[in-house]
């Protein structure tokens, strides 16, 4: 239990750090992160609704379909922001919820790393998560 709480804190701090370094955003809610310009609002809400229904893997698959279909365009980081907000949302769930829906805290961290790799920030993600 203590290990999972530690991973949760590491993920939270990692997302917070990435938001400051890449987006110049101080800590805020997921919706504030994604919707500062109104982009991706409906999609984010759809992902969160699926996650609440216990369909976390389905929501994650939809996210990656979007990331891969639209491509990681230099300078267009809105979808990376969307991915960070979604994984931050999942990270806020307790361990029992995640585990009961075939997901883990480690998968949250891996999802963040994978999304950041798509946008050329894989090294930063690995550095920030190397202690987990």
Q: Render pLDDT for 50-92 as a digit per residue (tens, 0 to 9).
A: 999 999 999 999 999 998 887 766 557 888 888 998 999 999 9
Q: What is the pLDDT of residue 38?
A: 60
Residue 115 has pLDDT above 80, yes or no: yes
* pLDDT > 80? residue 43: yes
Residue 25, sorted as left (phi over 0), alpha (psi -120 to 50) or beta, turns out to be beta
User: Residue 111: which pLDDT band, with cuts at 50, 70 and 90?
Assistant: very high
pTM of the model: 0.81
User: What range defines the domain where residue 7 resides?
Assistant: 2-129
Residue 32 pLDDT: 58
Instruction: Report which DSSP code applies to 38.
Output: S
* Total domain count, the chain: 1
Find how far residue 78's CA is from the centre of its chain. 12
Give the model's pLDDT for residue 21: 77
- 1-30: pLDDT as tens digits: 556 677 788 888 778 777 777 767 776 555
Structure-block tokens of residue 46: 């759809």
Q: Which residue would you say has higher pLDDT here, 24 or 94?
A: 94
């Amino acid at each position: 239990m203590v290990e999972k709480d530690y991973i949760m804190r590491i993920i939270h701090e990692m997302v917070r750090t990435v938001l400051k370094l890449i987006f110049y955003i101080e800590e805020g809610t997921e919706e504030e992160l994604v919707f500062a310009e109104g982009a991706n609002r409906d999609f984010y809400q759809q992902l969160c609704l699926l996650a609440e229904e216990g369909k976390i893997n389905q929501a994650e698959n939809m996210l990656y379909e979007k990331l891969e279909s639209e491509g990681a365009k230099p300078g267009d980081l809105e979808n990376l922001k969307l991915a960070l907000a979604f994984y931050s949302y999942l990270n806020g769930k307790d361990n029992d919820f995640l585990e009961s829906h075939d997901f883990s805290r480690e998968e949250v961290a891996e999802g963040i790393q994978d999304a950041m790799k798509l946008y050329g920030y894989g090294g930063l993600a690995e550095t920030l998560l190397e202690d987990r």
